[in-house]
Chain A
């Protein structure tokens, strides 16, 4: 299967990549891991005249912890996210998301930034990232801005990215003690699966037996974009965790969901599953929050 003809650019600097994107105009596409772009090019869904590879830009491939913040370059691959000890220990839901994406072969190529900018409602990185309150840095020639990830998506495949703008970095504040999170994906098989529905939950308690100080619930595959369930969060905030409270929050999450019918599952089934998944994600998050008190 041949790829359509294009011109290839591989800048070594971020500023150069931004300049190229500004100059080359609409016919240019960014290439990170290639697991999405190359497939779409083979299927002739996109026919870029220029492909700008980000693979030679060192700062986009770095993952570092600075004080209480972790900064992940947009071209860090999913396998490296899954195997990074800081992430598996402190940002467990993010490594759960990484390990459920694609297959081991795909994870060695696909990047965290690619999984975000393609803006698929079923993508596995956005729900856990939104649950952790991640921010993203968007850069274009002569301008950069930082926005919360949950303000990035506008529809399936569409985002607030402006022409020539690229995602350079994902930033997460390390969760403090007494906080925990979890990501659960529902599919019919374990690898290379596009989820039917998924849920990520994050909670922080004010004391071991205390109330919920912070809560974020994010859902995948049940709306045109990854979806934050504010109503579920409102139910949780300021309350003491209990099975009844979690059930109520999960029902709210199911109400916020706007699923569709497709060949993978019906909207009704998906909505029911949002309730189950949110409930389970909350149970796990609470368990982890309690275990996480000594640190």
Chain B
């Protein structure tokens, strides 16, 4: 039996009828067309499905859609502002921290959550924050540099 949930997705309050067996990742991708949230392993190991749930990064492949009732979700589509890319997104582009781009939504959301709680993280804190996000292309160094560059400038200017 489907259930009604009320949730805030990227700033929009929505009422949705969801299947108990549906994951948040599937709800976002297949019902709402928010395909920026990727699915890699679907087992909680790669982080490509990362979204922010009440501001905290989680693997959306391991969250049942019914559980987001009353919570707010930010996906990569909610990070960009009308004025253009978010400073973290810009930094990823400028530093060559994106190759195929499959990990990028998750990396950027993990970085965003880190920088909101800790505006000037050190190398270890940056590497820890993205330790649940795998990248098969960049070797991580450029991603770490991109995050560090925003950390120094500050992320305020959205």
Interface string of B113-146 (1 = CB under 8 A from A): 0000000000000001101110000000000000
State the CA gap A53–B128 with chains docked (Å). 30
The answer on a CB contact under 8 Å between A105 and B57 is yes
CB-CB under 8 A from A79, the residues of chain B are: 56
The answer on a CB contact under 8 Å between A3 and B23 is yes
CB-CB under 8 A from A8, the residues of chain B are: 3, 20, 64, 66
State the CA gap A55–B66 with chains docked (Å). 11
CB-CB under 8 A from A105, the residues of chain B are: 44, 47, 50, 57-59, 110, 132-133
State the CA gap A42–B22 with chains docked (Å). 11
Interface string of B46-67 (1 = CB under 8 A from A): 0100100100111100111011
The answer to whether A104 and B57 touch (CB under 8 A), given A1-B42, A190-B131, is yes
- Judge if B21 is at the interface, Cβ distance under 8 Å: yes
- Judge if A133 is at the interface, Cβ distance under 8 Å: no
The answer on a CB contact under 8 Å between B21 and A103 is no
- Judge if B45 is at the interface, Cβ distance under 8 Å: yes
- Judge if B43 is at the interface, Cβ distance under 8 Å: yes
CB-CB under 8 A from A108, the residues of chain B are: 53, 56-58
CB-CB under 8 A from B67, the residues of chain A are: 34, 53, 55
The answer on a CB contact under 8 Å between B132 and A42 is no
CB-CB under 8 A from A34, the residues of chain B are: 62-64, 67
The answer on a CB contact under 8 Å between A103 and B63 is no
Write the nearest CB–CB distance from B110 to chain A, whole angstroms.
Answer: 7
Write the nearest CB–CB distance from B41 to chain A, whole angstroms.
Answer: 9
State the CA gap A221–B48 with chains docked (Å). 29
Write the nearest CB–CB distance from A191 to chain B, whole angstroms.
Answer: 3
Q: Which residue on B lies nearest to A99, using beta carbons?
A: B128
The answer on a CB contact under 8 Å between A5 and B21 is yes
CB-CB under 8 A from B50, the residues of chain A are: 105
The answer on a CB contact under 8 Å between A109 and B23 is no
- Judge if A244 is at the interface, Cβ distance under 8 Å: no
The answer on a CB contact under 8 Å between A104 and B129 is yes
CB-CB under 8 A from B22, the residues of chain A are: 3
Residue from the list A10, A35, A53 in contact with B62, Cβ < 8 A: A35
Q: Which residue on A lies nearest to B22, using beta carbons?
A: A3
Q: Which of B1, B3, B23 has the most CB of A within 10 A?
A: B23
The answer to whether A104 and B44 touch (CB under 8 A), given A5-B21, A7-B20, A53-B67, is no
CB-CB under 8 A from A269, the residues of chain B are: none
State the CA gap A51–B129 with chains docked (Å). 31
Of residues 1 through 48 on chain A, the ones whose CB sits less than 8 Å from some CB of chain B are 1-8, 10, 31, 33-35, 38-39, 42-43
Write the nearest CB–CB distance from B77 to chain A, whole angstroms.
Answer: 19
The answer on a CB contact under 8 Å between A38 and B110 is no
State the CA gap A58–B66 with chains docked (Å). 17
State the CA gap A102–B47 with chains docked (Å). 12
The answer on a CB contact under 8 Å between A104 and B62 is no
The answer on a CB contact under 8 Å between B3 and A104 is no
State the CA gap A108–B44 with chains docked (Å). 12
Write the nearest CB–CB distance from A34 to chain B, whole angstroms.
Answer: 5
The answer on a CB contact under 8 Å between B131 and A10 is no
The answer to whether A104 and B128 touch (CB under 8 A), given A3-B21, A42-B43, is yes
Of residues 54 through 84 on chain B, the ones whose CB sits less than 8 Å from some CB of chain A are 56-59, 62-64, 66-67
- Judge if A192 is at the interface, Cβ distance under 8 Å: yes
- Judge if A106 is at the interface, Cβ distance under 8 Å: yes
Further pairs besides A8-B20, A42-B43, A102-B132: 6, Cβ < 8 Å: A2-B21, A7-B1, A7-B20, A8-B3, A34-B62, A34-B63
**Partner-B contacts on A (CB < 8 A):** 1-8, 10, 31, 33-35, 38-39, 42-43, 51, 53, 55, 79, 102-106, 108-109, 190-192
**Partner-A contacts on B (CB < 8 A):** 1, 3, 20-23, 42-45, 47, 50, 53, 56-59, 62-64, 66-67, 110, 128-129, 131-133
- Please list 10 pairs of residues, one from A and one from B, whose beta carbons are closer than 8 Å in the complex, sorted by A's number: A1-B42, A5-B21, A6-B21, A8-B20, A34-B62, A34-B64, A104-B110, A105-B58, A105-B59, A109-B58
